[in-house]
Amino acid sequence: MKKKRMVKSAKFLLLIVVTICIVVGCSNTKSGKLGQKENKNRTFHKNVIDPKVQNVKKIKKSNQDDASSVPLMTSTKPIRAIYVTSHVANSKRIDDLVDLINQTELNAMVIDINSGITLSIPTQSSHNKSYNKLLTFSNKNSSKHFLEVIKKLKQQNIYLIARLVTFKNPELANAVPSWSLKRKNGKVWRDRSGNAWIDPYKQEAWEYPLALAESAAQIGFDEIQYDYVRFPENAAKVDREVAYANEEGWSKSEAIRRFLHRANERTHKYGVRVSADVFGMVGSTNDDMKIGQKWDAIAREIDVISPMIYPSHYSKGMWGIDNPDLSPGAIIKRALSDTAKRNHKLNEQGFATAEVRPWLQGFTAGWIHPHQKYGTAQIREQILAARKAGFNSYMIWNSASRYPKFST
Protein backbone atom coordinates (compact mmCIF):
# COMPACT_ATOMS: atom_id res chain seq x y z
CA MET A 1 0.00 0.00 0.00
CA LYS A 2 2.82 2.41 0.89
CA LYS A 3 4.45 1.83 -2.50
CA LYS A 4 1.17 2.47 -4.30
CA ARG A 5 0.70 5.74 -2.41
CA MET A 6 4.23 6.81 -3.33
CA VAL A 7 3.58 6.09 -7.01
CA LYS A 8 0.29 7.97 -6.87
CA SER A 9 1.99 10.97 -5.19
CA ALA A 10 4.76 10.97 -7.79
CA LYS A 11 2.21 11.00 -10.62
CA PHE A 12 0.39 13.90 -8.97
CA LEU A 13 3.59 15.91 -8.57
CA LEU A 14 4.51 15.21 -12.19
CA LEU A 15 1.10 16.50 -13.27
CA ILE A 16 1.71 19.71 -11.28
CA VAL A 17 5.12 20.25 -12.87
CA VAL A 18 3.78 19.67 -16.38
CA THR A 19 0.92 22.09 -15.77
CA ILE A 20 3.22 24.83 -14.50
CA CYS A 21 5.60 24.27 -17.42
CA ILE A 22 2.74 24.66 -19.89
CA VAL A 23 1.65 27.93 -18.28
CA VAL A 24 4.91 29.66 -17.47
CA GLY A 25 7.65 27.61 -19.11
CA CYS A 26 10.26 25.49 -17.37
CA SER A 27 13.39 27.45 -18.10
CA ASN A 28 14.97 29.16 -15.14
CA THR A 29 17.06 31.46 -17.29
CA LYS A 30 16.21 35.05 -18.04
CA SER A 31 15.88 34.25 -21.77
CA GLY A 32 13.35 31.50 -21.05
CA LYS A 33 10.89 33.74 -19.18
CA LEU A 34 7.78 35.50 -20.39
CA GLY A 35 8.62 38.53 -21.28
CA GLN A 36 0.75 56.34 8.06
CA LYS A 37 -2.47 57.20 5.99
CA GLU A 38 -0.61 56.90 2.79
CA ASN A 39 0.64 53.50 3.87
CA LYS A 40 -2.96 52.51 4.57
CA ASN A 41 -3.58 53.30 0.92
CA ARG A 42 -1.09 50.67 -0.18
CA THR A 43 -4.11 49.22 -1.87
CA PHE A 44 -4.98 45.61 -2.57
CA HIS A 45 -5.80 44.97 -6.24
CA LYS A 46 -7.24 41.85 -7.77
CA ASN A 47 -6.47 38.67 -9.61
CA VAL A 48 -2.96 38.66 -10.97
CA ILE A 49 -1.74 35.30 -9.73
CA ASP A 50 -4.41 33.08 -8.25
CA PRO A 51 -3.10 30.92 -5.39
CA LYS A 52 -4.92 27.67 -4.67
CA VAL A 53 -4.55 26.61 -1.06
CA GLN A 54 -4.96 22.88 -0.69
CA ASN A 55 -4.93 20.39 2.18
CA VAL A 56 -1.62 18.56 2.40
CA LYS A 57 0.54 17.06 5.10
CA LYS A 58 2.31 19.45 7.44
CA ILE A 59 5.20 21.24 5.74
CA LYS A 60 8.53 20.28 7.22
CA LYS A 61 10.70 23.13 8.41
CA SER A 62 13.66 23.91 6.20
CA ASN A 63 16.95 22.26 7.03
CA GLN A 64 18.81 25.04 5.26
CA ASP A 65 21.63 26.69 7.15
CA ASP A 66 20.15 30.14 7.70
CA ALA A 67 23.52 31.36 8.94
CA SER A 68 25.35 30.60 5.70
CA SER A 69 26.42 33.49 3.53
CA VAL A 70 24.37 34.27 0.42
CA PRO A 71 26.24 36.24 -2.29
CA LEU A 72 24.51 39.51 -3.10
CA MET A 73 23.62 40.52 -6.65
CA THR A 74 24.57 44.04 -7.70
CA SER A 75 23.02 46.25 -10.35
CA THR A 76 25.03 47.56 -13.29
CA LYS A 77 22.90 50.70 -13.58
CA PRO A 78 20.78 52.98 -11.40
CA ILE A 79 17.19 51.77 -10.97
CA ARG A 80 14.62 54.59 -10.97
CA ALA A 81 11.09 53.33 -10.53
CA ILE A 82 7.47 54.29 -10.02
CA TYR A 83 4.88 52.22 -8.16
CA VAL A 84 2.12 50.77 -10.36
CA THR A 85 -0.92 48.93 -9.01
CA SER A 86 -1.87 45.72 -10.76
CA HIS A 87 -5.17 47.37 -11.69
CA VAL A 88 -3.40 50.26 -13.41
CA ALA A 89 -0.96 47.86 -15.07
CA ASN A 90 -3.93 46.08 -16.60
CA SER A 91 -5.58 49.29 -17.78
CA LYS A 92 -5.01 51.72 -20.65
CA ARG A 93 -3.21 54.01 -18.20
CA ILE A 94 -0.15 51.77 -18.46
CA ASP A 95 0.59 53.39 -21.83
CA ASP A 96 0.77 56.81 -20.18
CA LEU A 97 3.18 55.49 -17.57
CA VAL A 98 5.36 53.94 -20.25
CA ASP A 99 5.44 57.35 -21.97
CA LEU A 100 6.47 58.93 -18.66
CA ILE A 101 9.36 56.50 -18.39
CA ASN A 102 10.43 57.16 -21.98
CA GLN A 103 10.36 60.94 -21.40
CA THR A 104 12.28 60.99 -18.10
CA GLU A 105 15.20 59.27 -16.43
CA LEU A 106 12.84 56.60 -15.07
CA ASN A 107 13.57 53.04 -16.19
CA ALA A 108 11.61 50.74 -13.88
CA MET A 109 8.21 49.86 -12.40
CA VAL A 110 7.22 48.32 -9.08
CA ILE A 111 4.06 46.29 -9.76
CA ASP A 112 1.78 44.48 -7.31
CA ILE A 113 1.50 40.75 -7.81
CA ASN A 114 -0.53 39.50 -4.84
CA SER A 115 -2.57 42.41 -3.50
CA GLY A 116 -6.27 41.63 -3.45
CA ILE A 117 -6.06 38.15 -4.90
CA THR A 118 -8.93 35.79 -4.20
CA LEU A 119 -7.98 32.61 -2.36
CA SER A 120 -9.80 29.33 -2.55
CA ILE A 121 -10.76 28.66 1.05
CA PRO A 122 -9.35 25.35 2.34
CA THR A 123 -11.32 22.93 4.44
CA GLN A 124 -9.61 22.40 7.77
CA SER A 125 -9.75 19.06 9.50
CA SER A 126 -9.10 18.19 13.09
CA HIS A 127 -6.08 16.15 12.03
CA ASN A 128 -4.50 18.68 9.71
CA LYS A 129 -4.11 22.29 10.74
CA SER A 130 -1.40 23.21 8.25
CA TYR A 131 -1.56 23.78 4.51
CA ASN A 132 0.67 23.98 1.51
CA LYS A 133 -0.40 25.72 -1.65
CA LEU A 134 -0.17 25.12 -5.36
CA LEU A 135 0.34 28.38 -7.23
CA THR A 136 -1.32 28.53 -10.62
CA PHE A 137 -2.12 31.40 -12.93
CA SER A 138 -5.73 32.41 -13.02
CA ASN A 139 -7.67 31.67 -16.18
CA LYS A 140 -9.43 35.01 -15.84
CA ASN A 141 -8.99 37.39 -18.74
CA SER A 142 -7.44 39.99 -16.42
CA SER A 143 -4.62 37.61 -15.51
CA LYS A 144 -4.01 36.62 -19.10
CA HIS A 145 -3.87 40.28 -20.06
CA PHE A 146 -1.43 40.95 -17.21
CA LEU A 147 0.98 38.37 -18.62
CA GLU A 148 0.85 40.12 -21.97
CA VAL A 149 1.52 43.47 -20.29
CA ILE A 150 4.62 42.03 -18.60
CA LYS A 151 5.89 40.79 -21.95
CA LYS A 152 5.39 44.19 -23.57
CA LEU A 153 7.10 46.03 -20.72
CA LYS A 154 10.07 43.70 -20.94
CA GLN A 155 10.27 44.27 -24.69
CA GLN A 156 10.69 47.97 -23.92
CA ASN A 157 13.59 47.21 -21.54
CA ILE A 158 11.72 48.35 -18.44
CA TYR A 159 13.15 46.87 -15.27
CA LEU A 160 10.30 45.10 -13.44
CA ILE A 161 10.03 44.76 -9.68
CA ALA A 162 7.32 42.51 -8.23
CA ARG A 163 5.92 43.98 -5.01
CA LEU A 164 4.89 41.11 -2.76
CA VAL A 165 2.88 41.94 0.37
CA THR A 166 4.28 39.45 2.87
CA PHE A 167 2.99 39.20 6.43
CA LYS A 168 0.18 41.76 6.31
CA ASN A 169 -1.83 39.46 4.06
CA PRO A 170 -5.43 39.23 5.34
CA GLU A 171 -6.59 37.16 2.36
CA LEU A 172 -4.09 34.43 3.13
CA ALA A 173 -4.56 34.72 6.90
CA ASN A 174 -8.32 34.33 6.51
CA ALA A 175 -7.87 31.38 4.15
CA VAL A 176 -5.40 29.60 6.43
CA PRO A 177 -6.19 30.70 10.00
CA SER A 178 -3.56 28.33 11.40
CA TRP A 179 -0.91 30.60 9.86
CA SER A 180 -2.31 33.81 11.36
CA LEU A 181 -1.30 35.75 14.45
CA LYS A 182 -3.40 34.50 17.36
CA ARG A 183 -4.65 36.17 20.48
CA LYS A 184 -3.77 34.53 23.77
CA ASN A 185 -7.27 33.06 23.86
CA GLY A 186 -6.61 31.29 20.56
CA LYS A 187 -8.73 33.56 18.37
CA VAL A 188 -7.35 35.27 15.26
CA TRP A 189 -5.76 38.61 16.11
CA ARG A 190 -6.69 41.60 13.95
CA ASP A 191 -5.18 45.06 13.74
CA ARG A 192 -7.17 48.24 14.31
CA SER A 193 -8.30 48.18 10.68
CA GLY A 194 -9.67 44.65 11.08
CA ASN A 195 -6.90 42.94 9.10
CA ALA A 196 -5.53 39.54 10.09
CA TRP A 197 -1.78 39.04 9.74
CA ILE A 198 0.39 36.03 9.01
CA ASP A 199 2.57 35.13 12.01
CA PRO A 200 6.18 35.72 10.84
CA TYR A 201 7.32 32.97 13.23
CA LYS A 202 5.25 30.39 11.31
CA GLN A 203 7.90 28.88 9.06
CA GLU A 204 5.37 26.78 7.15
CA ALA A 205 3.67 30.03 6.10
CA TRP A 206 6.92 31.30 4.57
CA GLU A 207 6.52 28.83 1.72
CA TYR A 208 3.63 30.81 0.28
CA PRO A 209 5.47 34.10 -0.48
CA LEU A 210 8.62 32.21 -1.47
CA ALA A 211 6.75 30.14 -4.05
CA LEU A 212 4.86 33.20 -5.24
CA ALA A 213 8.18 34.98 -5.74
CA GLU A 214 9.42 32.08 -7.85
CA SER A 215 6.28 32.30 -9.98
CA ALA A 216 6.87 36.03 -10.49
CA ALA A 217 10.46 35.34 -11.51
CA GLN A 218 9.25 32.88 -14.11
CA ILE A 219 6.94 35.34 -15.84
CA GLY A 220 9.61 37.97 -16.34
CA PHE A 221 10.16 40.07 -13.22
CA ASP A 222 13.76 41.14 -12.58
CA GLU A 223 13.40 41.62 -8.84
CA ILE A 224 11.16 40.55 -5.97
CA GLN A 225 10.38 43.24 -3.41
CA TYR A 226 9.01 42.07 -0.07
CA ASP A 227 6.75 44.68 1.52
CA TYR A 228 5.27 44.40 5.01
CA VAL A 229 8.09 42.01 5.81
CA ARG A 230 7.71 42.77 9.49
CA PHE A 231 5.59 42.36 12.57
CA PRO A 232 2.67 44.76 13.20
CA GLU A 233 3.42 48.23 14.55
CA ASN A 234 2.15 49.35 17.98
CA ALA A 235 4.33 46.55 19.29
CA ALA A 236 3.70 47.05 23.01
CA LYS A 237 -0.04 46.59 22.56
CA VAL A 238 0.37 43.74 20.07
CA ASP A 239 2.79 41.89 22.34
CA ARG A 240 0.29 42.05 25.20
CA GLU A 241 -2.45 40.58 23.02
CA VAL A 242 -0.68 38.00 20.83
CA ALA A 243 0.65 34.51 21.55
CA TYR A 244 3.37 34.15 18.93
CA ALA A 245 4.10 30.72 17.44
CA ASN A 246 7.78 31.12 18.31
CA GLU A 247 8.89 27.53 18.79
CA GLU A 248 12.53 28.40 18.11
CA GLY A 249 12.70 31.21 20.66
CA TRP A 250 13.88 33.74 18.07
CA SER A 251 13.77 37.49 18.42
CA LYS A 252 11.54 39.29 15.94
CA SER A 253 14.54 40.52 13.96
CA GLU A 254 15.96 36.99 13.76
CA ALA A 255 12.71 35.67 12.28
CA ILE A 256 12.69 38.40 9.62
CA ARG A 257 16.38 37.87 8.88
CA ARG A 258 15.93 34.13 8.39
CA PHE A 259 12.93 34.61 6.13
CA LEU A 260 14.84 37.00 3.88
CA HIS A 261 17.86 34.70 3.90
CA ARG A 262 15.74 31.88 2.49
CA ALA A 263 14.08 34.26 0.05
CA ASN A 264 17.49 35.20 -1.32
CA GLU A 265 18.58 31.58 -1.67
CA ARG A 266 15.39 30.63 -3.47
CA THR A 267 15.10 33.62 -5.79
CA HIS A 268 18.72 33.88 -6.85
CA LYS A 269 18.34 30.53 -8.59
CA TYR A 270 16.30 32.36 -11.21
CA GLY A 271 18.81 35.16 -11.67
CA VAL A 272 16.42 37.55 -9.94
CA ARG A 273 17.30 40.05 -7.22
CA VAL A 274 15.67 40.33 -3.80
CA SER A 275 14.72 43.56 -2.03
CA ALA A 276 12.76 44.56 1.05
CA ASP A 277 10.94 47.68 2.20
CA VAL A 278 11.67 48.95 5.71
CA PHE A 279 10.41 51.84 7.80
CA GLY A 280 12.34 55.03 7.17
CA MET A 281 13.70 55.24 10.72
CA VAL A 282 15.18 51.72 10.55
CA GLY A 283 18.29 53.19 8.96
CA SER A 284 18.69 55.67 11.80
CA THR A 285 18.19 53.40 14.83
CA ASN A 286 20.18 50.55 16.35
CA ASP A 287 17.24 48.36 17.33
CA ASP A 288 14.49 46.66 15.33
CA MET A 289 11.82 49.23 16.27
CA LYS A 290 10.00 46.26 17.86
CA ILE A 291 8.71 45.18 14.42
CA GLY A 292 11.62 42.93 13.49
CA GLN A 293 13.29 45.31 11.03
CA LYS A 294 16.90 45.68 12.14
CA TRP A 295 19.15 47.34 9.58
CA ASP A 296 22.33 45.43 10.41
CA ALA A 297 20.53 42.09 10.00
CA ILE A 298 18.48 42.82 6.88
CA ALA A 299 21.19 44.67 4.94
CA ARG A 300 23.40 41.56 5.00
CA GLU A 301 20.75 39.21 3.59
CA ILE A 302 19.28 40.90 0.52
CA ASP A 303 20.40 42.68 -2.62
CA VAL A 304 18.47 45.92 -2.12
CA ILE A 305 17.08 47.58 1.01
CA SER A 306 14.49 50.31 0.57
CA PRO A 307 13.77 52.65 3.48
CA MET A 308 10.47 54.48 3.09
CA ILE A 309 11.78 57.97 3.79
CA TYR A 310 8.62 59.95 3.08
CA PRO A 311 9.12 63.43 4.62
CA SER A 312 5.49 63.59 5.74
CA HIS A 313 6.04 60.57 8.00
CA TYR A 314 8.60 62.29 10.21
CA SER A 315 7.55 64.11 13.35
CA LYS A 316 7.80 67.87 13.84
CA GLY A 317 11.26 68.90 14.94
CA MET A 318 12.91 65.70 13.76
CA TRP A 319 16.65 66.32 13.29
CA GLY A 320 15.98 70.01 14.02
CA ILE A 321 13.59 70.31 11.05
CA ASP A 322 10.45 72.14 12.14
CA ASN A 323 8.08 70.79 9.49
CA PRO A 324 9.54 67.77 7.64
CA ASP A 325 6.85 67.73 4.93
CA LEU A 326 7.85 71.25 3.95
CA SER A 327 11.58 70.36 3.81
CA PRO A 328 11.81 67.14 1.77
CA GLY A 329 15.42 67.68 0.70
CA ALA A 330 16.69 68.02 4.26
CA ILE A 331 14.87 64.87 5.41
CA ILE A 332 16.14 62.80 2.48
CA LYS A 333 19.71 63.98 3.00
CA ARG A 334 19.78 63.13 6.71
CA ALA A 335 17.98 59.79 6.39
CA LEU A 336 20.27 58.56 3.62
CA SER A 337 23.35 59.81 5.41
CA ASP A 338 22.40 57.57 8.33
CA THR A 339 21.95 54.52 6.07
CA ALA A 340 25.32 55.15 4.43
CA LYS A 341 27.00 55.18 7.84
CA ARG A 342 25.28 51.92 8.83
CA ASN A 343 26.41 50.15 5.67
CA HIS A 344 29.92 51.57 5.89
CA LYS A 345 30.28 50.24 9.41
CA LEU A 346 29.18 46.77 8.27
CA ASN A 347 31.56 46.92 5.31
CA GLU A 348 34.45 47.71 7.65
CA GLN A 349 33.57 44.55 9.54
CA GLY A 350 33.90 42.56 6.32
CA PHE A 351 30.21 42.21 5.44
CA ALA A 352 28.75 42.83 2.00
CA THR A 353 25.65 45.01 2.26
CA ALA A 354 22.51 45.64 0.27
CA GLU A 355 22.29 48.54 -2.14
CA VAL A 356 20.19 51.34 -0.68
CA ARG A 357 17.35 52.34 -3.00
CA PRO A 358 14.95 54.63 -1.12
CA TRP A 359 11.24 55.13 -1.51
CA LEU A 360 10.53 58.83 -2.10
CA GLN A 361 7.25 60.66 -1.57
CA GLY A 362 5.05 61.16 -4.63
CA PHE A 363 1.81 61.93 -2.78
CA THR A 364 0.33 64.84 -0.87
CA ALA A 365 -0.13 64.17 2.86
CA GLY A 366 -3.25 66.25 3.32
CA TRP A 367 -3.90 64.89 6.81
CA ILE A 368 -0.93 66.66 8.40
CA HIS A 369 -0.56 70.37 9.15
CA PRO A 370 1.19 72.16 7.71
CA HIS A 371 1.68 70.24 4.48
CA GLN A 372 2.37 71.00 0.85
CA LYS A 373 1.25 69.55 -2.45
CA TYR A 374 3.84 67.15 -3.80
CA GLY A 375 4.34 67.69 -7.50
CA THR A 376 7.23 68.06 -9.90
CA ALA A 377 9.30 70.42 -7.72
CA GLN A 378 8.99 68.35 -4.55
CA ILE A 379 9.83 65.08 -6.32
CA ARG A 380 12.80 66.72 -8.01
CA GLU A 381 14.04 68.10 -4.69
CA GLN A 382 14.05 64.63 -3.15
CA ILE A 383 15.82 63.04 -6.12
CA LEU A 384 18.53 65.70 -6.14
CA ALA A 385 19.01 65.39 -2.36
CA ALA A 386 19.43 61.64 -2.72
CA ARG A 387 21.89 62.14 -5.55
CA LYS A 388 23.97 64.60 -3.55
CA ALA A 389 24.07 62.05 -0.75
CA GLY A 390 25.51 59.53 -3.21
CA PHE A 391 22.38 57.54 -4.07
CA ASN A 392 21.41 57.40 -7.74
CA SER A 393 18.62 54.84 -7.51
CA TYR A 394 15.17 55.57 -6.10
CA MET A 395 11.49 54.65 -6.25
CA ILE A 396 8.51 57.02 -6.09
CA TRP A 397 5.37 56.01 -4.19
CA ASN A 398 1.87 57.15 -5.07
CA SER A 399 -0.92 54.75 -4.11
CA ALA A 400 -3.00 55.81 -7.14
CA SER A 401 -0.01 55.50 -9.51
CA ARG A 402 -0.35 59.10 -10.66
CA TYR A 403 2.84 61.04 -11.29
CA PRO A 404 3.74 64.42 -12.78
CA LYS A 405 6.33 64.68 -15.51
CA PHE A 406 9.66 65.74 -14.10
CA SER A 407 13.29 66.05 -15.05
CA THR A 408 16.42 66.41 -12.96
pLDDT score at 241: 98
Strand pairing of 355-356 and 304-308?
parallel
Higher pLDDT, 19 or 34: 19
23 band by pLDDT with thresholds 50, 70 and 90:
very low
Q: Residue 133: pLDDT above 50?
A: no
Euclidean distance between CA atoms 82 and 89, whole angstroms: 12
CA torsion 116-163-260-213 (nearest 10°) is: 80
| Residues counted in the chain | 408
User: Looking at the domain that runs over 33-397, which CATH code has it been given?
Assistant: 3.20.20.80
Q: Residue 14: pLDDT above 60?
A: no
Mean of pLDDT over the chain = 83
Euclidean distance between CA atoms 17 and 210, whole angstroms: 17
Single pTM value for the model:
0.83
Higher pLDDT, 128 or 348: 348
19 band by pLDDT with thresholds 50, 70 and 90:
very low
